[in-house]
Structure 1
Amino acid sequence: MTDRDLSAARELVADLAVRAGRLQLERRDTLRVGAPKAHVNDVVSDVDIASERLIVDAVRSAFPADAVQAEEGHGHSGTSGWTWVIDPLDGTRNYISRTGPWSVCIALYHQEQARLAVVHDPAAGETFSAVDGGGALLGGEPITASAGPPLERALIGVSFQPNPATKERAAKVVRALLPVCGDIRRVPAALNLVYQAAGRLDGGVALDTNLWDIAAGALIAREAGVVLGGHGADFSTELTIGAAAPLWPTLADRVRAAL
């Protein structure tokens, strides 16, 4: 089955993302932090796990033949050719420490192509979404990338996994960009991408992410006119560079030279 009502699916998963975000807000004062995962800064809470279970259970009920890739381990294989890619809480460190934004991210792929994406910011009450070929939305309103100012006036988002090796790479990028750009903001990867989609950031760099960190945000950004790439012509989990079209070549050259 290659055809699906993607508009209806978007409504369903946008509602799921909002429900997960509401759970996160309600349980923030009572959350419990578990043992680190891949490294000491890779934290997870019981709220991450509960949020993922809420989303995955509903997706499996609605689309039982679809595969699921989910950050906290509630994935399973499927037979339909469709795959849901889920990060129930992108920005857990911000969420736990109350020092910045986080989001709920859900993407739907058919084979290797992203077809649907939702990123919900619980604290701001904002839901970004896109359907492949249908443009990007914030709530029900279309959004577009910034006009792409020169790098010296551009606001650039930076996202990276906080393991020692990636922090070394991120330091090189920040060192290369900070003296020559308008300013830098560190934000979780999904919000980095959707803020570019909404024109709040003029460009962004994400290093050593996982697919669930960027899958939803990347489709929304592209549908809003953001140019995405990495070491080659396409973005990757190792390196994602995004920017408004006029800015992208300059930003990409600076980032690639730094790495």
Structure 2
Amino acid sequence: MSRDLEGARELVVGLAVQAGRLQIERRDTLRMGAPKAHANDVVSDVDIASERLIVEAIHAVWPDDAAQAEEGHGRAGASGWTWIVDPLDGTRNYVSRTGPWSVCIALYQGDQPRMAVVHDPAADETFSAVDGGGALLNGEPIHASSGPPLAEALVGVSFQPNPRTKERAGRVLRELLPVSGDIRRVPAALNLVYQAAGRLDGGLALDTNLWDIAAGALIAREAGVTLGGHGPDFTTELTIGAAPALWAELSAKVRAVA
């Protein structure tokens, strides 16, 4: 079953921007819900409202599509197409006003990512990609960095803040900090799209969910970022990305301890 992926991207960019505008407008009046998987896994009524906005609009256009959505608005489908939605990746940053967050929407055909959008509401930046069509930032092409040596590279790190994953992250940081140019902690989706734009030379994400990385991974891949995990394919347990020239050095360091 074919689909107009460019048309889908245009519609979804609009939805992501609309959700981002809602997040900006409601930031001063948000209400927190109970933590989910652990005490640091927070959710607000704005997360839920954003997801409802996105999923309901998508299903008004493609009612037979499935959806996997972080805050519970997923549904089964019969078309073979699935939407992967994280309405607010980086809720802790959003709530505490300590860093960036994003709206993430990806479209899969079977198990293959075909279109993706990551929108940063605070910076008014929209990253997107269509499978085989390259990556864009606000409509302009973007590319991975040239890949400096690890000693000069800026590396993004993302991880779930539960006790087990923080221990893993500690091992990785102890390995990378002495040998890398510098490290930034950012939410997983922005980690990947910053690599796509050449702002980060490489990065890694530990113990994510598919909705955290699905959109960013396609955008990164289309910009020329090399992706993998413990094997040739990245997973939610371990996602490593790097400019091609940096890949061997960075991935070897991370795989040794992650």
Aligned to 1:127: 126
| Structure 2 residue 29 is the aligned partner of structure 1 residue 52 | no
- Deviation track 1:201-221 (CA, whole Å, cap 9, x = no partner) reads 000000000000000000000
| Structure 2 residue 70 is the aligned partner of structure 1 residue 71 | yes
Q: Following TM superposition, by how much is the alpha carbon of 1:180 offset from its aligned partner in structure 2, in angstroms?
A: 0.3
Query: Where does 1:94-105 land on structure 2 (aligned, <5 Å)?
Result: 94-105=93-104
How many angstroms apart in 2 are the aligned matches of 1:140 and 1:79? 32
For the aligned residue pairs, the C-alpha RMSD in angstroms reads: 0.4
In the superposition, the TM-score normalised over structure 1's length comes to 0.99
| Structure 2 residue 182 is the aligned partner of structure 1 residue 183 | yes
- Deviation track 1:33-67 (CA, whole Å, cap 9, x = no partner) reads 11000000000000000000000000010100000
| Structure 2 residue 225 is the aligned partner of structure 1 residue 215 | no
Aligned to 1:10: 9
Aligned to 2:192: 193
Q: Across the two proteins, how many residue pairs are aligned to each other?
A: 258
How many angstroms apart in 1 are the aligned matches of 2:109 and 2:255? 31
Q: Following TM superposition, by how much is the alpha carbon of 1:190 offset from its aligned partner in structure 2, in angstroms?
A: 0.1
| Structure 2 residue 251 is the aligned partner of structure 1 residue 252 | yes
Give the SS at the match of 1:40. coil
Aligned to 1:110: 109
AA in 2 matched with 1:81: G
Q: Following TM superposition, by how much is the alpha carbon of 1:258 offset from its aligned partner in structure 2, in angstroms?
A: 1.5
Q: Following TM superposition, by how much is the alpha carbon of 1:192 offset from its aligned partner in structure 2, in angstroms?
A: 0.0
Give the SS at the match of 2:60. helix
Q: Following TM superposition, by how much is the alpha carbon of 1:158 offset from its aligned partner in structure 2, in angstroms?
A: 0.1
**What are structure 1's unaligned runs of at least 5 residues?**
none
In the superposition, the TM-score normalised over structure 2's length comes to 1.00
Aligned to 2:153: 154
AA in 1 matched with 2:21: R
In the TM superposition, structure 1's runs of 4+ consecutive aligned residues that sit over 3 Å from their partners are none
- Deviation track 1:116-167 (CA, whole Å, cap 9, x = no partner) reads 0000000000000000000000011000000000000000000000000000
Give the SS at the match of 1:247. helix
How many angstroms apart in 1 are the aligned matches of 2:121 and 2:73? 22
| Structure 2 residue 92 is the aligned partner of structure 1 residue 93 | yes
Give the SS at the match of 1:246. helix
Aligned to 1:235: 234
Give the SS at the match of 2:245. coil
Aligned to 1:144: 143
How many angstroms apart in 2 are the aligned matches of 1:256 and 1:229? 10
- Deviation track 1:63-117 (CA, whole Å, cap 9, x = no partner) reads 0000000000000000000000000000000000000000000000000100000
